[in-house]
Amino acid sequence: MQLTLAISILLTACKKQNSDVINIPQKADVKNKISLAAMLPTNPISNADAAYDGFLKAYLITSGAGAPYFCQSLTNRERAFFWQQCYLITTVEDAYDRNPTTARKQLVSDLLTKMLAQDLTDWSWDSWNDDVQWGMIACIRGYLITGNTAFRDAAKNNFDMCYNRGWDNTYGGGIWEDQNQVPNGGKCGLSNWPQIIAGSMIYQATGDINYLNKCKTIYAWARTHCFDTNSGRVYEGWYPSGIGGDDNSYNTGLLVNAAASLYKLTNDVTYYNDAIKAADHYIGRIGGLATGIMNEDHPANGYFGSDQVARGLAKLSKENNLWSKYGAFLANNCNAAWNHRRTDYNFTWNNFSSNTTTGDVFAMEVQSSVTVQMVTPEQGLSIPNGTYKLVNRQNGNVLDAKANGTANGTVLDTWAYNGGNNQRWTLTSIGNGLYKLIGVGSGRSLNISGASTDNGAAAVLWDFQNTPNEVFYLSSPADGYFSLIFAHSNRALDLNTGNNTLDQWELNGGNNQQWQFQTP
């Protein structure tokens, strides 16, 4: 019987034809020359799971007519209104993205199916365009998670409806917040930024360039009418008297998300710079990267907002290698929320800097504390330094330097264990939950070739240079199994079952991304 190593988290857990070497020089990218020591402070996965489970326990109604659905509050068990229902569903989608289990996917599917049955697929009955946009966002994310085309079509059709009725030349463009207040109402950030967020995902799902073009047009208007590009302040919107409204977390987070979405799709650096400017302005306003704690929009000014900042910052960081800048801020907010939680449900109201009330609490008032845990890379898992073989759950074979290769660029694959040094790996903590993995036979590191952030980028051997594409943190999708998440891309070490080589891929919970650390 194979001897397994007992550690703080229980680990329950021949010759090849030729040598494959990828001769791609490592990217000389200044963004990768960062301080790894400060990248990902502690954020235990157990806290995130407890907050999510408590959120469902408190607000998810699972029996009776129309179930499942989210209710209003701890004492008001009536179904949350259409847009609120959709807004709450996005937190379940955040939870799926962090840990894509079958149960979480099924809950997303069930919630959206019941929402469409209750609120119909044509939402023109709701005059508030920002309400409609939360339905669009929940549905298009649901399509990307489940593949259910009914969700995609609902998002697409209501995007068209919302744009067609909401956009006109008053104030030079933009989408009205409430169609019942035309022509003397406002065109707000909260009725324009979410249209971009939804439209960007619809474009990704359909490939229809019209959605991307409309998103760019909406952004251009909102940028000049709701955003101070010099200071980074995000205004509520544009009214008959001109620009106005408060500078809050909700609108800031929406802008960051919308700008990051368009930057990913277009590579136009204007969007990237806007996202950074808005994020830095907000964080500076609440105390700075090191000490700022999200505490806005509770309770007099509404019950939500911090979730949008967390979601926007996480997207910006994940897609642009900015965890070194914003990771500590997000993790500090995770810790603050956890330390001020209600222990009966393990959630926190929207002010993370004060203890949560023991009285009635609205569902939308606490979802920010769940979302920030979902979108912030998990920490707290640890494995002792030592030499291991890494067994892949998909095929039972071990991490292997192909054909006993030792050169830079040697392809990594899996192979039946034979005791060779090309199958033995030295794991070393470099602090703050990050690790490096060095091949015993080669003295070289597990590395993503070229520091690529793309799905499918090859895992190879390379001289260790202390860069983020060769260090990783741990996720535990199942007892005794670990996923290795690279710091530069937030993607997992993945077995390509088609050709038995290793690459990186978005975390999807598959057995091909799960590894046991065993004594060799």
DSSP helix/strand/coil, 33: coil
Domain definitions of the chain by residue range: 30-36+382-518, 38-375
The pLDDT assigned to 445 comes to 98
DSSP helix/strand/coil, 244: strand
- Return d(Cα 233, Cα 288) in angstroms, integer: 15
- Return d(Cα 356, Cα 513) in angstroms, integer: 38
Query: Within a 13 Å sphere around the CA of 131, how many CA atoms are in the beta-carbon half?
Result: 16
Pairing of strands 515-518, 425-431: unpaired
How is residue 80 annotated by DSSP?
P
The values of phi and psi at residue 356, to 5°, are -70, 140
- 167-to-162, 178, 245 alpha-carbon distances in Å: 8, 11, 21
**Tens digit of each residue's pLDDT (9 = 90 or more) over 189-222:** 999 999 999 999 999 999 999 999 999 999 999 9
Q: What angle do CA 431, 434, 435 make, to 5 degrees?
A: 100
- Return d(Cα 233, Cα 411) in angstroms, integer: 48
The kind and range of the H/E element at 242 are strand 242-244
The pLDDT assigned to 427 comes to 96
DSSP helix/strand/coil, 508: coil
Q: What CATH number labels 30-36+382-518?
A: 2.80.10.50
The pLDDT assigned to 509 comes to 76
| 394-397 contacts, C-beta under 8 A, 24 or more apart | 394/495, 394/497, 394/510, 394/511, 394/512, 394/514, 395/495, 395/497
Q: Which residues pair with 379 in a beta bridge?
A: 44
Q: What is the DSSP string of 34-59?
A: --GGGS----BHHHHHHHHHHHHHHH
The pLDDT assigned to 380 comes to 53
CATH class of 38-375: mainly alpha
The token pair that represents 510 in the structure block? 């598959």
The pLDDT assigned to 277 comes to 98
Strand order of the β-sheet with 187-188 is 187-188, 237-239, 242-244
The pLDDT assigned to 506 comes to 86
Is residue 348 within 8 A of residue 338, CB to CB? The reply is yes
Amino acid residing at 77 = R
- 222-to-227, 247, 254 alpha-carbon distances in Å: 7, 15, 12
Whose CA is closest to 39, among 471, 419, 508, 335? 471
The pLDDT assigned to 288 comes to 95
Segments in the chain below pLDDT 70: 1-20, 22-43, 297-303, 378-381, 432
- Return d(Cα 39, Cα 35) in angstroms, integer: 7
For 318-424, strand residue ranges (E) read: 386-392, 398-401, 412-415
pTM: 0.76
Residue indicated by tokens 């955003």 = 227
Whose CA is closest to 53, among 344, 426, 432? 344
What number of other Cβ atoms are within 10 A of residue 204's Cβ? 15
Q: What is the DSSP string of 281-324?
A: HHHHHTT-TTT-----S-STT-S--HHHHHHHHHHHHHHHT-HH
The pLDDT assigned to 303 comes to 67
Is residue 375 within 8 A of residue 367, CB to CB? The reply is no
| 463-470 contacts, C-beta under 8 A, 24 or more apart | 463/408, 464/436, 464/438, 465/26, 466/36, 466/430, 467/26, 467/32, 467/33, 468/32, 468/34, 468/36, 468/39, 468/321, 468/324, 469/26, 469/32, 470/436, 470/445, 470/446
Q: Which residues pair with 495 in a beta bridge?
A: 502
Which segments of 181-226 does DSSP mark as H helices, in order?
A: 193-206, 209-225
